[in-house]
Amino acid sequence: MPTYYPVKRMGITLDEQNFILKRLIQFKTEGDVLDIGSGNSLIPIQLSKAWNKKIIAADIWDEFPIELAKRNADEEKASVDFIRIERPNLKLPFPESSFSFIYSIMFVYNLRKNEREALFSEIHRVLKEGGSFLLVDPVIVRKERKELKGFTETLYREENALFYYLAKKVNRPS
């Protein structure tokens, strides 16, 4: 039986993760998908099953062991590949334009400004032209979305003290 437990960094319960998961299922997309800041990996594992596609789950794996995430994916028969990213540069080990959809749930707000800037630059680099980035974080830090360069907002919604910000890649950051 899979083992999930709340990750302090995320600041949400398993029930809240499942609530967010139900919202994310509607964003089903064609092409490759990257989850950044996977936490306990409940969301990418369940999305992989719901969307019937492989998801790459990237995290610093500081609070939830990557080995346990891999075991959970195997037990759930989900198609998820796990990678480790390192602070402070959060370099993503993928070529340019690798993904059609990238999302991050309750991760970015934990980063320092220089780490957010580095991560947003990396997201822009590995996202395909016209690809989408979904950011879900606490409403209290909603201004962080203004730090994204080279994206245009396509959806913004606040719900249960979280914001859902969906943006499309439009050009190179300045």
Domains and their CATH numbers in the chain: 14-23+31-169 (3.40.50.150)
DSSP string, 66-124: HHHHHHHHHHTT--EEEEE--TTT----S-TT-EEEEEEES-GGGS-HHHHHHHHHHHH
pLDDT of residue 174 exceeding 80 = no
Encode pLDDT of 116-161 as tens digits.
Answer: 999 999 999 999 999 999 999 998 887 777 778 889 999 999 998 8
pLDDT tens, position by position, 96-120: 999 999 999 999 999 999 999 999 9
Q: What is the pLDDT of residues 23-81, one digit of tens each?
A: 999 888 889 999 999 999 999 999 999 999 999 999 999 989 999 999 999 999 999 99
Cα gap 29→39, rounded to integer Å: 22
The single residue listed with the structure tokens 């064609």 is 30
Helix (H) or strand (E) holding 24: helix 14-24
Q: 118 near 90, Cβ under 8 Å?
A: yes
Residue with tokens 């499309």: 168
DSSP-derived 3-state class of residue 20:
helix
| Neighbour tally for 8: CB within 10 Å | 12
